[in-house]
Structure 1
């Protein structure tokens, strides 16, 4: 359930002769002289209807010093008058009042000089219910005019409306001028800030505050995008080099073991480059196909070759890996065969 707060606010002085028409509460935004948060009464007719419907006998009490709203043991239910109707006029709610003899006497004798509305509001300041009023001697709503008589129902003067919005008594002109001057200066500064920040549309203050409170990225956790992209490229190149080195090492091992012959080079290179584990699995079980040692030739010697025979594919690979020219390799081969 929405929390409602009861507020008791005193208005300005009563006229010399009590009137049966009083100005009860402002419509729209208003402040109290005691600097409570601002209130709003945006739908006065709905509030009027609800207040009269919920009131006992459809009338609202006007008591003395709000005693009927006091704590148990301190309450005084005597009525100074009864609010029998309410209407919206000139930016405020006007109330029709039937004064009791006791209430009229208190006003005639000037024992009380102010009337104070009692209302309930939501936490956001929106007034939702008027419960009544009280005769008091401490004003808190300086924006309300002196309670009107039948001949004095004109709307508030502009200076009084401005004073009401500022929460300042209408006769404190110096304070009103100072407050308006400050607000004008603040508005000019905000316009300059908005232009400098290139803020357009919507709530400029909210947009600017959002920019000021936005956290800057932690340089320890973020790097420039250009550096990150360069690092990615370097890492990919490094991984490619490492992968190539592993492939070359696996192929070389298979050659050294005599399991990889020239006719299998293309196939073996493609397999190792694509799936090194698969190639290493093949190399582990592949038979030895080339071995120039005596043990593998079972005592038989390879057929002799002359210099005119040149080098076969395997010999060229061996010469290349040894860093020996083909001519030097041929001479060495011939010398070994002669032995």
Structure 2
């Protein structure tokens, strides 16, 4: 588990806006937030961390970057150096940051470092900050932001929670949060008068999921899996919903096609002999058939329209309307006389 410390690397005040500033001394560092060690490995780890990020390290005001508020930069760390027993930073100041320093409106530097728990060694540099509230004087470390409420304090809370939850000292924040969620869920179940689910991987503990599937809370994994597979196959309460829906869509399509053909017959846009063709067309391409009917001329005189039934020929004569339709369909007069226009 990593810890954040907020420190001042030297008791020397910043004069003007120096290009190179001291960040941390090598050796054992003591602060009001804890103790840790800084060595050449710390320096290399910090350089590697900055290189991995691929962006310059920020110098902000009063650790605003850590507080989740607007955090304008006072400067940007362009390079880390190891000189004179100290880790130093080459900083490119912003005009505003440089002016603050030149006017001595800000006089101290406060680094935020990442400490490795296994050996209590500084291994990362989160950010730097300009501040005016040093709390400890001394060459090794000065805590520069005594009013800051984050960093080490949060890590102490995580440690205490891990201990209360029966987790090891090396438990990370994510593990602590998962254990807390489990405790909250168990407490809620007890308040609702339910038995907390057994710690068994064959049991699904999520009450909401079980209820949505029509199962009791704590249902076996096999039962939940079976229900989900039924739903994927379209079966609900023993009924294949997908097949029912398909049949219903077919029925609606048949009804719509019949209605469209009937309207076309009544409008004289098709002859009774075209009824089956028209229905097939309306089923396969409803929009296309509708467009055809809309644009087609009236081929059956209003006096001869007789609902949806086929009209017989008047004797052996073929009327003009029938000949017009036959011509559009590529049917000759001889075929009409030979086979007739009546249904069997």
TM-score band by shorter chain is 0.3 to 0.5
TM-score under structure 1 length normalisation: 0.38
Compare relative contact order (CA 8 Å, sep 6+) and give the higher one, 1 or 2: 1
TM-score under structure 2 length normalisation: 0.38
The higher radius of gyration belongs to 1
